[in-house]
Amino acid sequence: MYNEITSNKRRSVILILIFMAVITAIGYFISYYYNDSSLVIFAFIISLGMALFGYYQGDKVALSTTGAHEIQKQDNPYVYRMVENLCITAGTPCPKVYIINDPAMNAFATGRDPQHASIALTTGIIEKLTNEELEGVIAHELSHIRNYDIRLMTLVIVLVGTISIIANMFFRGFGRRSSDDNKSGGGILAIIGLVLIILSPIIANLIKLAVSRRREYLADASGALLTRYPEGLAKALEKIATENQPLQRASDATAHLFIASPFAEKKHSLKNLFSTHPPIADRIAKLRNMGK
């Protein structure tokens, strides 16, 4: 676990550096085309600002996107006490607790560290799971918090989204510019912009796959060790897979945060190969092997 925490902290720094390098590189192409070196500095400032925003405010973006609202103990004592009890067992600070008014069964955790973390649960998952099953889900999300998965996965939302937006602006801007004048570099830079806009969604999915799939297996195992009852989480995942109900406010930007895909999964679909989550059947099998 300690090795994973160290690795996640290191990968968060690497992700920020890659993001800043890409934005600065785009700024370089723009400055070259317009012959204005100040644009490179401007791009660097934007990349630094968005990196800091992602670090400190990325969790708020995730919670707002999903329509989650914070609750206190008196609002839902059952859920709040369950989170508190598991935090005492894990020896971690209690995160803020949020509820998403949605009949679908799902949950996620977000934040930058255990001291600044939040856990969100849908009304569907609270109503439809038994006590032991819901404990398994919450323990899974607390494991993401303990392992610092939340920092890496939250940063992805803002940083990857920013790269996609800037790549799109870059392509559009140079497309108009090259039609206004006939500079020799305009066509090349427009092609670069086209390549960026095509590759951005692919890169985004690859990053999400890299930070999500392996971490789901690890959080399953860590959560099962926390509750000492792997079958609770296994049954919860079974119910989620059987119902297969999408979230009303599902988003590609935040999909990798959830315990299961917020979209309705079709069996044997090619799209499943690019899902941010490993197959639920495999996760259930691994959990049940833990109990043997």
Q: Are 256 and 208 in contact (CB under 8 A)?
A: yes
Distance CA 63, CA 71 (A): 13
244: left (phi > 0), else alpha (psi -120 to 50), else beta? left
Distance CA 245, CA 98 (A): 20
Catalytic residue among 141, 216, 238, 243: 141
* pLDDT classification of 276: cutoffs 50, 70, 90: low
Helix axes 38-66, 2-34, angle to 10 degrees: 130
Strands, DSSP E only, in 101-179?
107-113, 116-122
Q: Which helix (H) or strand (E) holds 99?
A: strand 96-100
Q: Which helix (H) or strand (E) holds 70?
A: strand 69-71
Phi, psi of 275 (to 5 degrees): -70, 145
Question: Does residue 267 have a pLDDT over 70?
Answer: no
Q: Are 101 and 198 in contact (CB under 8 A)?
A: no
In sequence order, the 6+-apart residues with CB closer than 8 A to the CB of 19 are 47, 50, 51, 159, 162, 163
Question: Does residue 109 have a pLDDT over 90?
Answer: yes
Instruction: Determine the 3-state secondary structure of 267 from DSSP.
Output: coil
pLDDT digits over 197-223, tens only?
A: 566 656 666 666 666 667 888 899 899
For the question of whether the overall pTM of this predicted structure is more than 0.85, the answer is no
Question: Does residue 172 have a pLDDT over 90?
Answer: no
Active site residue 141: yes
pLDDT digits over 143-157, tens only?
A: 999 988 888 788 877
Distance CA 197, CA 170 (A): 9
- The alpha-carbon radius of gyration of the chain (Å, integer) is 21
The pLDDT, as a whole number, for residue 21 is 79
